[in-house]
Copies of this chain bind each other. A is one copy, B any other.
């Protein structure tokens, strides 16, 4: 496993930025390793949304240097028996609760090594039942960045959780069902249809065009970049995370169309 000359840890949480939670996790890690480079991926995930954390991490993790430790704390089960885990997959380490937040990592990084973190030696001496980001996950990341062997943190496990995140489905020939999985800051609607799925759908069924029916909007135009859209026109675009998105030029598509995460839609080939 290649390592960076300067150890790098990223943080992805639903803690927000209005409290001391994220800062304290960083303090705990810097106490163990003052040379750390710390990068926030996102802290404003919807509270408790394991699936949105999974999608966010998926869009981000591979852009970091090999050897980066990705720390994810979206943890509705904090304090319960859910396990903290340390995974090594591809060029990266991941530290997270075993609640499915790494499900998309399992899809991309085959044969990960997954360890249950339970060695008291690498945790804070007192472990609260409400803030294990501070007491369990941050110390584990700090020690790992110091070069502690992953095997020292606990036993290998094979029954880690993989969520069945909703994929697109072929309802009938030429009709695909999809779902909005994230809304970004611009109000762009990110779907669960990947660029490859969309391309294959069009090749097989939709060479005459397509209609994406999302609420009352029937979207027929695929644009190459945002500014190509007309004012007020909802368009489809292949977004930067390799997924089909619905966007409106310089307007928040979520508010204009009145839709959000979880909204289902159908994509129909024009015959």
Query: Closest CB of chain B to A126's CB: distance in Å?
Result: 10
Bound CA–CA A60/B210 (angstroms): 47
Q: Assembly of this chain: how many copies? A: 3
Residue A143 is within 8 A (CB to CB) of chain B in the complex: no
Q: Is the CB of B129 within 8 A of A65?
A: no
Query: Closest CB of chain B to A113's CB: distance in Å?
Result: 22
Q: Given A23-B60, A63-B24, are A129 and B41 also a contact pair (CB < 8 Å)? A: no
Q: Given A5-B34, A27-B60, are A78 and B227 also a contact pair (CB < 8 Å)? A: yes
Residue A83 is within 8 A (CB to CB) of chain B in the complex: no
Residue A240 is within 8 A (CB to CB) of chain B in the complex: yes
Tell me how many residues of A have a C-beta within 8 Å of chain B.
71
Residue A79 is within 8 A (CB to CB) of chain B in the complex: yes
Q: Given A240-B130, A250-B47, are A31 and B227 also a contact pair (CB < 8 Å)? A: no
Bound CA–CA A109/B47 (angstroms): 35
Q: Given contacts A8-B34, A24-B41, could you give 11 more A-B pairs where the C-beta distance is less than 8 Å? A: A6-B35, A10-B27, A14-B185, A16-B184, A18-B42, A20-B60, A27-B39, A27-B65, A79-B228, A128-B239, A130-B226
